[in-house]
Amino acid sequence: MYTYLLLSTELVAVTHLSMAIVLFIYASRSVAFKAQAWVLMLISLIYTFALSFLVFSKSIPDADILNPFLLIFLLVTSFLLSINPLGMLMPGYLQLGRMVRYASPAIAIVALYVLGLLAGSNVVRINGWADIADHFLTTDVLLRIFALLLSFAYIFNIIFVPHLRLRRRTLPKNVVSYAMLLGIVQLIFVICTIRFSEPLLIVYEVLFAAVSMMLCGCIINPLMQSQPYPEIKPVEVAPTVEEISVAEEEDFNEANLRRFERVEYVMQHEKPYVSSDFNRERLCRYAGFNRHILLQTLRSQGYNDVHDYISRYRVTELRRMIESGEINDPRQLERVGFKTIKTAVLAFERYEHVSLLQFIEETVRRHRAEKGVPDVEEPHEETLED
């Protein structure tokens, strides 16, 4: 069990350190990532300290009920984690003055406990619930109870503060899910603090690392979605088989580029993708490659797979036909190869980063304005009279 606890603690420390480095890089361009970067870095340092403690102790120390060190650990991490959801939505709110006031109860409890230890105060060992009743009025036990209650308050903020602060706004679903999961996982740590359990602590650390990686995914996903796809360049002449064979002998990347140009020529001049049953096998027959070579060729130019490549061409053709006025109704989408409106809507938004229905509406409105046709027909006299 000791080995597993070492591994899970190391997992949390390394995971948060890696994510902190990535977010510090993003924070150099946007302040919105700064709060998350600092929180993740501090969490990593805390767990690095815990890992060092476990390594030097060479065993899992005995932890009684409401262990003071676990309570301090819980209090500090709960405070830090309660900043994260709010920092994702209101980065300007996280200023030093507000954070110090927010942390002041935790700072006071930790400071009083440490000062008491330095002054020689006896630490009460609580082995059973009866011991709490026997020493309930001692400063030691009261501070532990206050620390536990304050941790609950911070965990409450993890889950509910985004809703309370932004109740009139539409919250991103990933932020809401992250806050809920983070609060639930932190409650597991509360249980470990009240009644220490080695297996439960390992489960908590693994889940905590997973939820934090979810946070990183929530942050990086919009950045990934905004990355441009490869530009479609016109190909007037298809490379011959001999040219591709020569390139294969001289330069691997050049061979992939030549093969890609051959595929591009087919897609641009024959437009086989407008057929709804066009697929990978048919593209292989058109280009003259097997599916492994085709996939290698497309990936060398920045596409994930054949489906990604075909969808890109269908969306490009769809946009051209909408802008030219050939398509002005979502029910005409089968003309570019899409089988359903839903597939077309998702693909168009993915590649063009705009709603398909909104794009059609705005384009149709623009065409009408150019022709001098009003957007809404004026009602007839009979209608007005009615």
From first to last of its 386 residues, what are the pLDDT tens digits of the chain? 888 888 998 999 999 999 889 888 887 777 777 778 888 899 999 999 988 888 887 777 666 777 788 888 888 888 888 887 766 666 666 667 777 888 888 888 888 878 877 776 676 666 666 666 666 667 777 888 888 898 888 888 887 766 555 554 555 566 677 778 888 888 998 888 888 888 888 999 999 989 888 877 777 766 666 666 778 888 888 888 888 888 888 888 888 888 899 999 989 998 898 888 888 899 888 888 888 988 988 888 888 888 989 998 999 988 888 888 888 877 777 788 888 888 888 888 888 888 888 888 888 888 888 777 665 544 443 433 33
Distance between the two ends of the chain, CA-based, in angstroms?
Answer: 83
What the chain holds in terms of domains, given with CATH numbers, is 2-225 (1.20.1070), 241-371 (1.10.10)
Side chain identity, residue 30 = S
**Angle of CA points 308, 237, 284, to nearest 5°:** 40
Tokens coding 248: 């294969």
In this predicted structure, what is the pLDDT of residue 13?
92
CA distance 358 to 349: 10
Tokens coding 106: 């935790």
pTM over 0.75? The answer is no
| Backbone phi and psi for residue 288, each to the nearest 5 degrees, phi listed first | 85, 20
Cβ neighbourhood burial of 384 (10 Å; 0-12, 13-18, 19+)? exposed
| Backbone phi and psi for residue 323, each to the nearest 5 degrees, phi listed first | -70, -30
In this predicted structure, what is the pLDDT of residue 207?
92
In this predicted structure, what is the pLDDT of residue 45?
93
